[in-house]
Amino acid sequence: MSRQIAQSREAMLITLIGREEERIEESLPGLELTANFLSKINLELNSTPEDKEFKDTLHENGLYFVDPDKMRAMIDERLPSADGKTRLDMFHVLNLLVFHSDRLHTAKCENHEVDQRLKIKCAVSEDEVNDARQYLAEAEATFRSALDQFDISNQGLIVSS
């Protein structure tokens, strides 16, 4: 009886392993396509010159969408063979990048405006200057964190595929 149970468990495990192998084989092309896509974008973002905005790099690569539905459509179009979870992960990571690239751009503009006002000796309080500098530092840090998340997602996909 116990031998029969052990054989039954073994047969069930073999079936489960076979199904999992099939699932992995089905998802590999989508994962590989997504990993290549992320690698290209990661390289572009990390190569963005100091005098250029990250949001412009995202836009040039067709990734700058404020409308979530348009971003989802772009991901579905570019990564049709990726499974739903991979596309959802992509959406979250790209959405985070867009949000933080916008925030960084706004912080740079505000900081530039304060600098211009200081140059022409307009009334600028020390608090305004400090707030602009702090906002810029925070925006740079959160963008870098979002870029790190993007890189981690990319590395995870490369390992998976």
Residue 74: per-residue pLDDT: 85
CA atoms within 13 Å, Cβ hemisphere of 19: 6
Q: What whole-number distance in Å separates Cα of residue 75 and Cα of residue 63?
A: 9
Q: What is the pLDDT along the chain (161 residues), one digit of tens a residue?
A: 677 776 777 767 677 666 655 555 555 566 677 777 777 887 888 888 888 888 888 888 887 877 888 888 888 888 787 888 888 888 888 888 889 999 999 999 999 999 998 888 788 888 998 999 999 999 999 998 888 887 777 666 555 55
In 65-120, which ranges are continuous DSSP H helix? 68-78, 84-119
